[in-house]
């Protein structure tokens, strides 16, 4: 895993910090490398489903965001990233104190960047694999245009 330049890392962290959903969830960047991005978050009281576990959309949010920045880390500095499509396989309920998501690129394509992510729930001493995501990111020139 190659480290990013300071400039590149700053660019990714600033973009991440500009997502109000990530700020609201209390999500943080834990690891930032070439083609890999890891974040973690508590399970806010306002982001739960009907049995008080984390909502699937929170798991999706973390996995999709981690995968998106993993893709952005291999793009040109004047490019932003958009999710074209994403599939999530839910493996277990989002139960615990903290969720961790790691996104990785599958291939650094020029036009499309296939990505994947895993999400785990930390519940006391126990860590459970709760989701795998796979999807497609596309680079868009800044300022972002519609696809």
Q: How many beta carbons lie within 10 A of that of residue 116, not counting itself?
A: 19
Contact flag: residue 55 with its own copies (CB under 8 A): yes
- Shortest reach from residue 145's CB to its own copies, in Å: 10
Among 3, 84, 97, 141, binds its own copies (CB under 8 A): 84
Q: Is 1 in the site for its own copies (CB under 8 A)?
A: no
- 4 or 54: CB nearest its own copies: 54
Q: Is 36 in the site for its own copies (CB under 8 A)?
A: no
Distance of CA 12 to the CA centre of its chain: 12
- Give 77 or 112: the residue with its C-beta nearer to its own copies: 112
| Phi, psi (rounded to 5 degrees) for 42 | -70, 180
Measured over the CA atoms of residue 16, residue 37, residue 124 and residue 96, the dihedral's sign is positive
Tell me: does residue 105 bind its own copies (CB under 8 A).
Answer: no
CB 82 within 8 A of CB 140: yes
**Site residues (CB under 8 A) for its own copies, limited to 108-137:** 109-112, 114, 116, 129, 132, 134-136
Cα distance between residue 121 and residue 109, in whole Å: 31
Q: Give SS3 for 42.
A: strand
CB of 101 to its own copies, least distance (A): 12
């Amino acid at each position: 895993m190659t480290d990013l330049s300071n400039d590149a890392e700053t660019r990714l962290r600033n973009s991440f910090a500009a997502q109000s959903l990530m700020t609201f969830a209390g999500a943080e960047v834990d690891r930032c490398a070439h083609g890999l991005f890891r974040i973690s978050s508590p399970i806010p009281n306002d982001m739960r489903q009907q049995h008080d576990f984390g909502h699937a959309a929170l798991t999706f949010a973390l996995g999709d965001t981690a995968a998106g920045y993993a893709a952005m880390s291999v793009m040109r500095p004047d490019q932003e990233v958009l999710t074209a499509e994403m599939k999530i396989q839910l493996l277990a309920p989002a139960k615990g104190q903290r969720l961790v998501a790691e996104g990785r690129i599958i291939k650094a394509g020029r036009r499309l960047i296939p990505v994947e992510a895993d999400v785990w729930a930390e519940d006391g001493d126990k860590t459970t694999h709760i989701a795998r995501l796979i999807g497609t990111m596309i680079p868009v020139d800044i300022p972002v245009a519609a696809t």
